[in-house]
Amino acid sequence: MKIKLIYPEWGNFPLKYRRYIHTLGLITIAALTPPEIGLSFTDERIEPVDFDEPADMVAISAMTCQAKRAYDIADRFRAKNIPVVMGGLHPSLMPEESALHADAVVVGEAEGTWENLVQDFVGGSMKKFYKCVERPKMENVSWPRRDLLAGKGYIPMQSMQVSRGCPVNCEFCSVPGLFGTSYRGRPIKEALAELEKMEEYIFFVDDNFHLAKRRSYELFDGMAGMGKKWTGLAPLAAAQDREYVDRLVKSGCWLLYVDVGPWMSASFGEKRAGFTTAEKHLENIQRFHDAGIKLIASFVFGYDYDDKGIFERTVEFAKKTGIEECEFLILTPYPRTRLHDKLEAEGRIIDRDLSRYTTTNVVYRPALMTPDELYEGYIRAWKEFYSKDVIEETDDGLVVKTMSQFPIDPGVFDRMIDERYRPEDKWVESFVRRERLGK
């Protein structure tokens, strides 16, 4: 018996290198699959789906922006009488919709659910829905099957998860919908044992593991001396704690992805209660920089208090800080979030094509500008922050060809060329050449 695992194309995100970072969902369910069942894995972001590959079942994982493509793929396999199972973020939030294109839908986290589904499938009694009723204990999380990623063309950096769930519960975020609003951490000893077996570069996919400071200290102290270099998401305010930053550096952190958040938008020129000021952001950025940690900052446009001047003010601020890389996003009301419910109630959703829910399109009516003004300002921000030679405007949207923050040595790039290089990715080629020549 063989199961084909598919991660569908996700549309255009300007920072092109993103599609070359592997995700964990499907290789985690691969680890939960009985060893006697054969598996293949296709990441459509970097390779085509082979619709003729023999398989007894197809399993597709999808976020909202991938849902439309996931349904197309599912329909094609089902037309060939191959059963399709769907899971991941979007099917968990919209199970009834996904069930129109699937023989079974996994709702919520896979541990304990996927194993039952496979058992039923083998026994010929697969049901339509498999719901995760009790959140899995993090002690029991399996190590993902990273062997399935070999030779695929990813940036040589392995993804890792040490926690799930986020109690912050922002109105626009769908993470709490899938992983819940309480923080659940893996035993640090277990995480360190996994890290020991991993390659040099690590990407922590956790949305907010810095929330549990004592646990983070344990992790950082355990990683110190391991020789790993890691990156991940962090709140900018973490810079306020000098001891924390010091331990981050000693553990091998070289780059953090920080969400400057809605607070930034509102903090120009005026002080609002509850919002961090621009001066405080500047101080935090400086602290990280002084410690040698580079930053990728994300800025979201389109909040109800964002006026037409937000784009220029943001770029001006970003340039002033010396932030190494920026990502600009358009606020997106993902289904089953409080933001979606609010905009729906106000009759402000103007586009229901889920493939456009990528944070690169305007799918609702903003409060203080028109949808066109929001989109044009967003494009302007990218163009004003990045130099012309790394920006390309394509029919699919902007492509920003930079990986400048990944200090990958030439030896690793040699491997990337030999095993993973694909001729159509000219930008990777030029980046590699530049690295090799040290220019």
Q: What is the DSSP string of 102-154?
A: -SEEEES--TTTHHHHHHHHHTT---SEEE--SPPPGGGPPPP-GGGGTTS--
Q: What is the DSSP string of 351-414?
A: ---GGG-SSSS--B--SSS-HHHHHHHHHHHHHHHS-GGGEEEETTEEEE---TT----HHHHH
Binding residue for ligand SF4 (CB under 6 A) from 175, 326, 330, 363? 175
Output the smallest distance, CB 235 to ligand SF4, in A.
8
Q: DSSP secondary-structure letter at 338? A: H
Stretch that binds ligand SF4, among 32-40, 145-153, 170-178, 287-295 (CB under 6 A): 170-178
The nearer residue to ligand SF4, 117 or 258, going by C-beta atoms, is: 258
Output the smallest distance, CB 170 to ligand SF4, in A.
3
Cα separation values, 178 from 29, 162, 222, 336, Å? 16, 16, 29, 10
**Secondary structure of the chain: what % helix, strand, coil (to 5)?**
40, 20, 40
Output the smallest distance, CB 169 to ligand SF4, in A.
5
Count of chain residues binding ligand SF4 (CB under 6 A):
9
Q: Which residues between 245 and 304 bind ligand SF4 (CB under 6 A)?
A: none
Output the smallest distance, CB 388 to ligand SF4, in A.
32
Taking the C-alpha atoms of residue 19 and residue 362, their distance in angstroms, rounded to an integer, is 22
Binding residue for ligand SF4 (CB under 6 A) from 99, 173, 192, 391? 173
Nearest CA among 132, 22, 145, 47 for reference residue 88? 132
Q: What is the DSSP string of 244-264?
A: HHHHHHHHTEEEEEEE-HHHH
Between the two ends of the chain, the Cα-to-Cα distance in Å is: 50
Tokens of 411: 């030896």
DSSP H/E element including 185: strand 184-185
Stretch that binds ligand SF4, among 69-77, 162-170, 395-403, 422-430 (CB under 6 A): 162-170
Taking the C-alpha atoms of residue 272 and residue 254, their distance in angstroms, rounded to an integer, is 33
Binding residue for ligand SF4 (CB under 6 A) from 100, 150, 168, 193? 168
Output the smallest distance, CB 35 to ligand SF4, in A.
34
Rg over alpha carbons for the chain, rounded to the nearest Å, is: 22
The nearer residue to ligand SF4, 42 or 267, going by C-beta atoms, is: 267
The nearer residue to ligand SF4, 173 or 412, going by C-beta atoms, is: 173
Asked whether position 170 contacts ligand SF4 by CB under 6 A, the answer is yes
The nearer residue to ligand SF4, 157 or 175, going by C-beta atoms, is: 175
The nearer residue to ligand SF4, 161 or 402, going by C-beta atoms, is: 161
Tokens of 425: 């990715």
DSSP H/E element including 204: strand 201-204
Q: DSSP secondary-structure letter at 423? A: T
Stretch that binds ligand SF4, among 65-73, 169-177, 274-282, 320-328 (CB under 6 A): 169-177
Q: Work out the number of other CB atoms within 10 angstroms of the CB of residue 320.
A: 11
Binding pattern for the stretch 208-247 against ligand SF4, x by CB under 6 A and - elsewhere:
x---------------------------------------
Asked whether position 207 contacts ligand SF4 by CB under 6 A, the answer is yes
Asked whether position 339 contacts ligand SF4 by CB under 6 A, the answer is no
Stretch that binds ligand SF4, among 31-39, 172-180, 319-327, 380-388 (CB under 6 A): 172-180
Output the smallest distance, CB 107 to ligand SF4, in A.
19
Binding residue for ligand SF4 (CB under 6 A) from 11, 108, 176, 366? 176
The nearer residue to ligand SF4, 49 or 266, going by C-beta atoms, is: 266
| Contacting residues toward ligand SF4, per CB under 6 A | 166, 168-170, 173, 175-176, 207-208
